[in-house]
Every structure is written in C-alpha cells, then in structure tokens.
Structure 1
Amino acid sequence: MHQGPTVGLALSHALRAALFDGERERELAAAGTVLDCGDPGALGAALPDVDILVTGWGMPRLQPHLLDTAPRLKLIAHAGAAIRPFVTEAVFARGIRVTQAGAGMARPVAEVALAMTLALLHRVHRYDHAMRAQRQWPVVGVVTDHHELYGATVGVVGASRTGRAYIEMVRPLGARVLLSDPYVTSDAAKHLGVELLPLPDLLARCRIACVHAPATPATRHLLGGAELKLLPDGAGLVNTARSWLVDQEALLAELQSGRIDAALDVYDHEPLPADHPYRTLPNVLLTPHAAAATVEGRLRQGQVLASEVARFAAGLPLEHELRAGDLDRFA
C-alpha cells in the first residue's frame, strides 16, 4: 500500500501538463498518492482526503466553508507568486502551511522586462506602429531619438526576485543601474552593483524606469501623477509587475501627451478592454500579462512545486514557505 500524504492537484489539465513533465510527475507520485482535482467538482469531492493541495489559476479561493471539508489539509503549494486570490487568513489560522513557486517566474519576467527596455530605448514599438499605419518609407517625424542600453541610466523600483534578476541582466550589457527599495541596505546595493536612491531622485535621473516592487497596501500607486512627471522627457516606463503600483489614469495622461513611452504587461482590468486608449497610442507597447508564461518558466515552477511537496512529505524544511504576514506582500 502506498505510504505518504495524499496530494490533490487543483490544476487545469493544460496547466498540469505545462508544469509537470514526466520526471516531476514521478517525483510527485513518489512523495504520495496523487489525485486529479482539475475541476471544481472533483476538488470538492477530493478535499476530505487531501493532505497537500497544489493550486493554480482558475481554482476557487479557499474560503472557510471549503476548509471545513478538508480536515487533513496540511500544506497548500501554489503554482504562481500571488497567493491572495486563493489563500485566506483562515488558512494560516488553521495551521495550514503555504508555499509557492514564484521563484520559477523571476527569470522569464526579467527577460521580458529586458526586451521591453530595449524596445523602448530603440523605439521599436513606434516604428512598428508607424509602418503598420502605412506611413511612407522611411518613417519620418514619428520617432524621437533612440538610444543604446550601453551607458543608459536604468532605474529599478523594487529589488524583488524579478528585480534582482533584471539587474543581473542589464548590468553586463553596460547599463548604469539605480535602485529604489526601502528594504535594501547600502551594503546590499553595493553587492548588487547599483546606486541606491530615494524614488524621486531615481525617477528624475533614469531613461528607463522598470517597476519590480511588490503589490502591498503601502505600494498602491507608488508611481502617481507627481512621480510620473519626474521622468525626463523621452523616458520610458516598464511594468511587468502589477498595475497596482502605477496610477493608470495618471500614466494614461502622460502617455497621451506623448512625453514618455511605456511597455506594459499588467493592467487594472484584465483582459484589457478592446476600446482602451492604450491600444491606439504609438508610444505604448502592450503584452497580455504573459511575461511569466514561457515553456521553461512553467517547468521551473513545476520543479519548485514537486520539490516542495517532496520536502514536506519527507519532513524537511520548505524552501519557499510563506507566513500569514506575507499575504499582502504576495498579493
């Protein structure tokens, strides 16, 4: 008889296939008995027998009434970084432990931020928009001066895992990196090879501002109208983190003026409405909240999840455990 915990996979079949290759499926099976809970009906039926629940996008939030049906539940392992849509304070109150696979997402999101940085510097989005609008060749008067990353001043707002991965990418390419993060010490900044500055000073000096801060109550509209006005004319804003961090109305006003450019992967309302003004602006580069969704990134997330499940089953410390106080930080 198979020993070990019962592991419920509350994942769509498509997401399960993206996260777990054959090796990771075998690792899960070695850790315990695996149950497929890929639809809400299956999840409700399986919860009474589940010791470990692996959650993903599209699954219901674990409200108290669901937890009441899961007396054996001891660990929730979430496929993404943001846990608040799935995990409530009631989870921690019941002594259920929580871990997540956000570490697997840092590399692809940082790469997209780098790609967006290069696109904004070289005005790729403006050229593309102009050529699709069937302007005469060569494109004249639609693109401002464009620049190289080498020697450019790049401001990083938030030294999160993704922020640090981004710094590790742009520094070897010759960028001068500024950082604003109240939790980073001067020694840590020196180790990262960046100049630590208050946010207003960073914004006033950078050609590209790249947002990587966490979405917490304190960071709501961290970049509001006053902060965005500090960006120099022709500067660019990259946001692959959360729209929460930037006042979208203030950003739209700046973009409609043509004074700055932006590359955005996240929005207040998703999917982005078909009639949203962002879609018509030549100085805006848009992607559909897809920065983390690489093949390799998904498999890396699955590796983190399988490893955490195996460690828990073996009674070993978790490497990515979250506490109740982290709910806001990983919103």
Structure 2
Amino acid sequence: MIAVSLTPELREMFLPPPIWADLVKLGPVVPMEEAEVLVTGWETPRLDAETLALAPRLRLVAHTGAAVGFLVSDALWDRGVKVTQTGAAMAPAVGEVSLAFTLSLLHQLHRFDHDLRSGASWTAARAHARPRRELRGSVVGVVGASRTGRAYLELVRPLGARLLLTDPLIGADEAAALGAELVPLDDLLSRSDVVALHAPAIPATRHLIGRGELALLRDGAALVNTARSWLVDSDALLDELRSGRIDAALDVFDEEPLPVDSPLRALPNVLLTPHQAAGTVEAQRRQGRSTVEEIARFLVGEPLYHEITREQLRWTA
C-alpha cells in the first residue's frame, strides 16, 4: 500500500497519467497511516519521530528528488525504513546546464546580455566584457565526483578542456578514468579558469568555498554552482562578485525564491537561473519512472538501485 506526499503540481510533474498508472498497479494508494511505501517530494514534512508515529507500517521512503537530508531523521533510520531517491535521473540535465553555464561564462554571454538589455552601447558592451576564452584548452576544475559531477565531466571532456578534480572518496586512477587529474582543493582553485561545484550538501561541505578559497581563484576565473548554496559562503562570494574580479553562474541560493532586491540581480558578471537545472521534461519523467521502478523492486524483495543509507548520506548528494 502506497501513500503519495506530493503537491498536485509535483504529482503532475513526476507522475503523469502513464507513470501513475504503473504506480497504482503496484498497490492501492492509501493514507499515510496505512502505507508501507511513501512517495515524497520537496514539500514533504520532515520524517521525524512525531511524523513517523502516524505511519506505523512504513518500510520505504521513495523520494522524487535527490537531496534527502531535509527529509530523513535518526528516528527514520532507527525504525529500519529504507530510503531511495532519483539523483541519477536528474544528473544528465544538471550536467547540461553546468556545461551551458561554463560556455556562457567563458564567452561572456552573460555580460553582453546584461549590457545590451540595460541600454549600453554596442561599443561599451564589447568593452565591458573580459577577453573571451574557448573551452578547448581551458582548465576546468570539478569539485565532487558525484552523479552530476560525472555527467558534467562526460560532457566537458570531449570538448577539449583540461580537467582537474577534487573528491576525498576517489583515487588518482579513478579520476584519470574520468579524464581528470586528481588534485587538492586549493590547487584546483588556483589553477582553474572555471570551477564547477558538484559536491553534496553534508556537514563536511558547509562553506567548503569560503573567503580564503575564493581568494585563490585567479582574476577573471568563473564559478559555476548547480549543486547547493550550502557549499559556498554567500557573503564572501557576493564581495568577490561586487569587486568584479570573478564571474559566476548560479542556480542555487541561500534564500529561494531569490529576493527581488538581491544585489546579485544587478551584477553584470553574474548569470542567474531559478533553481531549475534539473527541470527538463525528460528529467522529470525519468524521476517518476525511477521512483516507480524502485518501489517495484522493493515490493518483490530485490535490491534497490538508488538506496541511501545513514552512512552514505554523509558523503552523497
């Protein structure tokens, strides 16, 4: 028996009629109090002891997103409830947006767009841009060999970038197999033309990129963040961006929606999108399919493909 904790909008997004039909074949949709399986979304309340007391039969949480840190609790793990998510389904779309950000920053499209929309002259718009760079031959540093990090690497590598990678969980051989040189974070930051963040939002990565790390970026470098704002000291980043020393493309923010009066909105060296890197039709359908397929595996006693355990949560997005 399956409960669905999704807003109508999210249900339509992830579980349109063909996918919904496959879901209900697996079991009746029931209130959470009766459910063995709970399908969750971004607006599902945290599954703490109080909430779990309302779901005594719960054995599986199938999350339609990637990050589950906001949702799970020790009470959930202590009950032995399994958790699965759809990060793998989202990775191709996020990788593509990260690539689009990278190309836009290297070619200064964000500055050209800002100037021309703001009424700057043709000549001024050209003069305000930094010298443009091609991706081929540029040094691109990737922070995190996560699913999205690997999807990004797969896209960037054939275009001729020189790749650096930092991740505490992989070795030099695995990095080389991904086409990258494994280096410490400080080395990556100081050498890269573009730094793309793909690390998970866990306690160990809180403000991984702080004031000192940002200072290591060379003048004219660019920062791409399609992961989580958790990874970056936003005040320090704003100071660097206001100085004009670096450029950035950001899909994630400390406060969402981004306030209308946010100073980021006025900066010509920043490209902004509203936390929609994974929001393609294809990704949403993959997320729904992945959720249903995981539930089907669970109900027949097969191993889950995308399970997250308490221990893994410390290191995975």
Q: Structure 1-normalised TM-score?
A: 0.92
Match of 2:76 among 67, 72, 91: 91
Gaps of 5+ in 1: 1-5, 36-45
Equivalent of residue 15 in structure 1, options 6, 10, 15: 10
CA contact (8 A) 1:212 1:241 kept: yes
Counting matched residue pairs gives 316
Say whether residues 1:55 and 2:40 are aligned partners.
yes
For 2:309 and 2:177, the matched residues in 1 are separated by 28
Amino acid at match of 1:61: R
Asked whether 1:164 is paired with 2:150, we answer: yes
How far did 1:329 drift?
A: 3.8
- Mapped to 2, the partners of 1:157 and 1:85 lie a distance apart of 22
- The CA distance in 1 between the partners of 2:54 and 2:182, in whole Å, is 49
Cα distance in 1 for residues equivalent to 2:53 and 2:314: 24
TM-superposed deviation, 1:221: 1.1
Contact kept in structure 1, 2:146 and 2:316, CA below 8 Å: no
- Aligned partners of 1:84 and 1:328 also within 8 Å: no
Match of 2:179 in 1: 193
Amino acid paired to 2:20 = E
SS in structure 1 at match of 2:69: coil
Which residue, out of 224, 232, 238, partners 2:210? 224
**For 1:77, which of 46, 56, 62 is the aligned residue?**
62
**Amino acid in structure 1 at the alignment position of 2:100:** A
1:279 aligns with 2:265: yes
- SS of 1:155's equivalent in the other structure is strand
Mapped to 1, the partners of 2:70 and 2:64 lie a distance apart of 12
Q: Distance in 2 between matches of 1:216 and 1:66?
A: 23
Q: Secondary structure at the match of 1:156?
A: strand
Is the partner of 2:223 in helix, strand or coil? strand
In structure 2, how many angstroms separate the alpha carbons of the residues matched to 1:98 and 1:137?
54
Which deviates more from structure 2 when the two are superposed, residues 211-220 or residues 25-34? 25-34
Q: CA-atom RMSD, angstroms?
A: 1.3
Match of 1:235 in 2: 221
User: Which of 118, 123, 127 pairs up with 1:133?
Assistant: 118
Q: Compute the displacement of 1:326 (Å).
A: 3.3
Instruction: Provide Cα deviations, 1:268-325, integer angstroms capped at 9, x if missing partner.
Output: 1111122111111100001111111111111111111000010011111111111122
Which residues of structure 2 form unaligned runs of 5+? none
Give 2:138's match in structure 1, choosing from 129, 141, 152: 152
Q: Could you tell me how far 1:81 is from its partner in structure 2?
A: 1.0
Alignment of 1:206-221 (within 5 A): 206-221=192-207
d(CA) in 1 for partners of 2:147 and 2:64? Answer: 16
| SS of 1:200 mapped into structure 2 | helix
